[in-house]
Chain A
Amino acid sequence: KAGVTQTPRYLIKTRGQQVTLSCSPISGHRSVSWYQQTPGQGLQFLFEYFSETQRNKGNFPGRFSGRQFSNSRSEMNVSTLELGDSALYLCASSLFIGLSYEQYFGPGTRLTVT
């Protein structure tokens, strides 16, 4: 099976712009989660989508949004970019096994805001 794919892998934007990142989960996985990883804050949960519905949300401002399509592909959008949004954005697709998750991560999108 193909793994989780994220596009683009690298992105450079300027402050005030907006950006859209894409994630294609593993075939058959219906849950997609997004994380932000920075040296200072570590890995922080952004949100989770399941069957096109946002099911879980972290503590990020409303500038961060996402959606999931009927084929389980997901996008996240960041509007009015700030320097502090520079980070590695990781997407994970999840498979339920019993009562637990098993998450599989993509390689990430490295966003640099200048």
Chain B
Amino acid sequence: AQSVTQLDSHVSVSEGTPVLLRCNYSSSYSPSLFWYVQHPNKGLQLLLKYTSAATLVKGINGFEAEFKKSETSFHLTKPSAHMSDAAEYFCVVSDREDSSASKIIFGSGTRLSIRP
């Protein structure tokens, strides 16, 4: 069975400092992993994805994530936070259990706040 755990429900950082949003997963298969961002009253936007290619994945807006199989982690980072990064972030795992369908599980979300 697959699952995804976002270790922090809320993270607060100062503008210009690094961001770390933590995500652990479990999967019976070779998973695909995603990070999505949701700004208030908006839909979800794909930040980046891992699909068994390079383990360090670069996304939009300066975000990146590293897939660590030994630690079953896929943490999201950004070197320098910007006020516009304040949003809810979701880690997602997708397995292909058979040829017909994928199973997609969302983490519970991490709210990122940026202090001026």
Partners in one complex: yes
Q: How far is the CB of A32 from chain B (nearest CB, A)?
A: 13
Q: Does B83 contact A (CB under 8 A)?
A: no
- Residues of B contacting A: mostly: strand
- How many Å lie between the Cα of A45 and that of B101 in the bound state? 14
Closest to A41 in B: B108
- Residues of A contacting B: mostly: strand
Please state if A108 and B102 are interface contacts (CB–CB under 8 Å).
no
Q: How far is the CB of A69 from chain B (nearest CB, A)?
A: 20
Q: How far is the CB of A8 from chain B (nearest CB, A)?
A: 14
Please state if A56 and B42 are interface contacts (CB–CB under 8 Å).
no
> What string of 1s and 0s marks CB contacts (under 8 Å) between A97-109 and chain B?
1111111111110
Please state if B104 and A45 are interface contacts (CB–CB under 8 Å).
yes
- How many Å lie between the Cα of A43 and that of B108 in the bound state? 7
Q: Does B3 contact A (CB under 8 A)?
A: no
Q: Does B45 contact A (CB under 8 A)?
A: yes
Closest to A37 in B: B38
> What string of 1s and 0s marks CB contacts (under 8 Å) between B78-116 and chain A?
000000000000100010100011111110110000000
Residues on the A chain within 8 Å of B32, using CB? 99-101
CB within 8 A of A105: which of B43, B102, B104, B108? Answer: B43
- How many Å lie between the Cα of A44 and that of B90 in the bound state? 12
Beyond A35-B106, A102-B49, A106-B43, 8 extra complex contacts between A and B, CB < 8 Å? A56-B101, A90-B44, A100-B49, A100-B96, A101-B94, A105-B36, A105-B43, A105-B44
Q: Report 7 cross-chain contacts, Cβ distance below 8 Å, ordered by A residue.
A: A45-B106, A48-B101, A92-B44, A100-B49, A103-B34, A106-B43, A107-B42
